[in-house]
Chains A and B, each alone.
Chain A
């Protein structure tokens, strides 16, 4: 089954404790992206990647890191989480072409930083 998986689905952590949210897709997509979803602010892009070893900042990259060492994986790293990073996080992937393709979303990771 074609899918984007994220782990963990729920995470409660404390300020300053490094964490990684994993994202993996099995569709051989070149493009991957991380979003955060907050009430009243909608979805905002954190980072994106066009292919292996090619990543770039989205609209709200502060406090986050990413890497793309393999095509299927795109982990999101919070080196020193803070309470303002409490949010619902989505990973998405899509093929690349001359027209925009559908983005496939993971099920989300609900992060709480205390």
Chain B
């Protein structure tokens, strides 16, 4: 069964510093990969997704991620973070639909704390 591992549960960083949040998934023939963000007391919203094509994916709020098939990774990066980026970040993978369910397999999340 597909699984997702987010390698860091907490990442503290200073404002304007670069950040990388790491995500690995178990191998599969083909996968679709997502990063979602959850701000305090809110639901999740999509940051970016990889379905096919270019392995470097750009998302909202200046985030980008790189799909690396050989390393089964999909790490999220931002060159310069802001206080407002403080949130929980979730990596998720979707197998090609088996049957009817578009279920996402979720990592446990990485809490990004941006300090002044």
Residues of A within 8 A of B (CB): 4, 31, 33, 40-45, 48, 50, 54, 56, 58, 90, 92, 94, 96, 99-103, 105-108
Contact = CB atoms under 8 A, between A and B. Distances in A.
Nearest to A90: B43
Interface in B17-57: 32, 34, 36, 41-46, 49, 51
Given A99-B32, A100-B51, A105 B102 contact: no
B94 interface: yes
Q: Is the interface of A mostly helix, strand, loop or mixed?
A: strand
Contacts, number: 59
Contact of B94 (A54, A56, A100, A108): A100
Contact of A90 (B41, B44, B103): B44
B106 interface: yes
Given A58-B103, A100-B51, A105 B43 contact: yes
B49 A102 contact: yes
Given A40-B108, A100-B94, A45 B42 contact: no
B101 A48 contact: yes
A101 B92 CA distance: 13
Contacts of A105: 36, 43-45
Contacts of A103: 44, 46, 102, 104
Interface in B85-116: 90, 94, 97, 100-104, 106-109
Given A100-B51, A100-B94, A105-B43, A42 B101 contact: no
A42 B32 contact: no
Nearest to B43: A105
A20 B43 CA distance: 19
B108 A45 contact: no
A105 B107 CA distance: 17
Contact of B102 (A40, A43, A90, A94): A94
B90 A43 contact: yes
Interface string B63-101: 000000000000000000000000000100010010011
A42 B103 contact: no
Contacts of B104: 43, 100, 103
Contact of A106 (B34, B36, B43): B43
